[in-house]
Amino acid sequence: MADGLSLSRRELVGAGVGSGFLAAAGGLLLPESSAGAQQPRYGGRIRVSSVSSSTADTLDPAKGALSTDYSRHNMFYNGLTRYDRLLNPRPELAETIETSDQILWRVKLRKGVEFHDGKPLTSADVIYSLLRHKLPATASKMKSVAEQIAEVRAAGRDEVMIRLTGANADLPAILAQSHFLIVRDGTKDFRTANGTGPYRCSEFRPGVRTRGVRNPNYWKHGRPYVDQIELIGIPDEVSRVNALLSGDVHLINAVNPRSTRRIQQARGYGVMSTEAGFYTNLIMRQNELPTGNPHFVLAMKYLFDRALIRRALFRDFAVIANDHPIPPFHPYYRADLPQRPCDPDRAKYHLQKAGLTGVRLPMFASPAAEGSVDMASVLQEYGARIGLNLAVNRVPSDGYWSTHWMKHPLTFGNTNPRPTADLIFSLFYKSDADWNESGWKNPAFDRLLVEARGEADQARRKQLYGEMQELVYNHCGVGIPVFINLIDGYDRRLKGVYPIPIGGLMGYMFADNVWWDG
């Protein structure tokens, strides 16, 4: 292991190897608790509201579907690793994760960790928690990702060996996703949560509330800080903001950019904007005409007025994108790709080349894909100027993903932030991926993807991912105008809040970090 990539604890903590976001300036590493110089206070009760709560709520991490689920799972469970504020994976229940070939990984478990029922954490729990994702009956959201886990076996009570089907340097980052949180060996019934996390589940009522009380035996010394956390879901955005401003809840996510001014103007309330790789994209199916015509694809990409979309749709709570899914703040972002401008003349040229002037094309947009209805209207307006007749079909959110998404030549998609470049590309851009949204087939891209996945050298990796960005930018039938920031609102008495760029609510991990200064 001496000459291979060794993700020892020290390196994980110190340099952020793995795959996450590196700090822009070489050695700049923020200390973990730099959110406030203040000493954390103990006690208090807080109420947090996320966007949804329904009978589909679950305590099974594998089934986690939405921000409420992710947040709930992070209250009660821990993962082998977790993300820091730069999205580097850090050791959590794993003391170290080491590998020499990116295929066989040795995970040493932290000792003295207890589940809420008092049983100690052992390798059997980890094996069970990881392998259950591969069983169809689990209905895991991570089934396709877990397919690359070939084998997990115990090497003693406090050590497991994970063997992958192919080299993947990103394993520590993959395991930090909330779906891979560790449950107790043999758990089938998820009516209550038995994890190792900072809170114990005292009440779980799907569609109503989740309540957690401080776990006094938490293995992280001195944590957590708050006595009790209640997690609810308020689907209506106006009601959610009102609940925050009237003091009924103390932290909310998915704030509309239009509501930010209202929150900021109220005394004692703040807005936290998280730059993450969240985007809504135009999908031009490549196996259908006319969207499969490369000239048509370019015409549409030149038609996006990205600055207008950022300003008018998202009130500047967005970052301009360049038709590939890697955001500018990502360590693997390729800065030397020219930013594609809004250029109606070039769009017109490509449209004429494609022979599509005057053609009427239906385009499907839905509130399910955030901002897509307004983006479609902008495209329609700009299209009309160059002789492209786009007909916007606004369809309801309900059933959009199963009936419209990717099912017509022109639709909109919406992709949540993923922790690694490999996951984004593997899930949405690989030729044989289930959600290869545009259906493009690029063998060169596929080769680069596999090579980059097993590559341990950071510089080489960055170069490979850069080449992939160029391929997507030039050839893929996907137009990405902007990356949308995730906006949270919080009561300023809630301290220790900072963005973690995997999602809102501190990357859904507020429970471990916040304290109440009320």
Interface contacts to other proteins, rule CB under 8 A: 49, 54-57, 63, 65, 136-137, 139, 141-144, 205-209, 232-236, 238-239, 242-243, 245-249, 398-399, 401-403, 405, 434-435
| Rg (alpha carbons) of the chain, rounded to whole number | 23
Backbone angles phi, psi at 238, to 5 degrees: -60, -45
Output the CA–CA distances (angstroms, integers) from residue 175 to 94, 168, 179, 263, 362, in the order listed.
10, 12, 8, 35, 41
| Contact present, 63 and 267 (Cβ < 8 Å) | no
Give the pairing of strands 482-484 and 318-320: antiparallel
Backbone angles phi, psi at 198, to 5 degrees: -70, -20
Three-class SS state of 171: helix
Shortest separation between residue 181's beta carbon and other proteins, angstroms: 17
Shortest separation between residue 233's beta carbon and other proteins, angstroms: 8
Shortest separation between residue 46's beta carbon and other proteins, angstroms: 14
When the beta carbons of 349 and 401 are compared against other proteins, the nearer one is 401
Shortest separation between residue 144's beta carbon and other proteins, angstroms: 7
Which amino acid is residue 348, in one-letter code? K
| Contact present, 5 and 456 (Cβ < 8 Å) | yes
Neighbours of 328 (CB within 10 A): 14
Sign of CA dihedral 459, 463, 464, 466: positive
Sign of CA dihedral 453, 457, 461, 464: negative
When the beta carbons of 87 and 244 are compared against other proteins, the nearer one is 244
Cα separation, 152 vs 168, in Å, equals 15
Q: What is the DSSP string of 271-316?
A: EEEE--S-EEEEEE-TTSTTTT-HHHHHHHHHH--HHHIIIIIHTT
Which amino acid is residue 319, in one-letter code? V
Q: Which residues are CB-contacts of 241 (< 8 A; sequence separation ≥ 6)?
A: 252, 255, 256, 259, 262, 263, 489
Q: For residue 516, which of 268, 229, 226, 267 has the smallest C-alpha distance?
A: 226
Q: Which parts of 101-246 fold into alpha helices (H)? A: 123-131, 143-146, 171-174, 237-245
When the beta carbons of 141 and 301 are compared against other proteins, the nearer one is 141
Q: Which parts of 100-203 fold into alpha helices (H)? A: 123-131, 143-146, 171-174
Q: Which residues are CB-contacts of 316 (< 8 A; sequence separation ≥ 6)?
A: 257, 310
Shortest separation between residue 232's beta carbon and other proteins, angstroms: 7
Shortest separation between residue 375's beta carbon and other proteins, angstroms: 19
When the beta carbons of 240 and 301 are compared against other proteins, the nearer one is 240
Shortest separation between residue 360's beta carbon and other proteins, angstroms: 25
Shortest separation between residue 49's beta carbon and other proteins, angstroms: 8
Q: For residue 168, which of 105, 104, 106, 102 has the smallest C-alpha distance?
A: 102
Shortest separation between residue 411's beta carbon and other proteins, angstroms: 13
Shortest separation between residue 408's beta carbon and other proteins, angstroms: 13
Shortest separation between residue 158's beta carbon and other proteins, angstroms: 32
Shortest separation between residue 24's beta carbon and other proteins, angstroms: 31
When the beta carbons of 209 and 441 are compared against other proteins, the nearer one is 209
Residue whose tokens read 């950071």: 458
Cα separation, 356 vs 353, in Å, equals 8
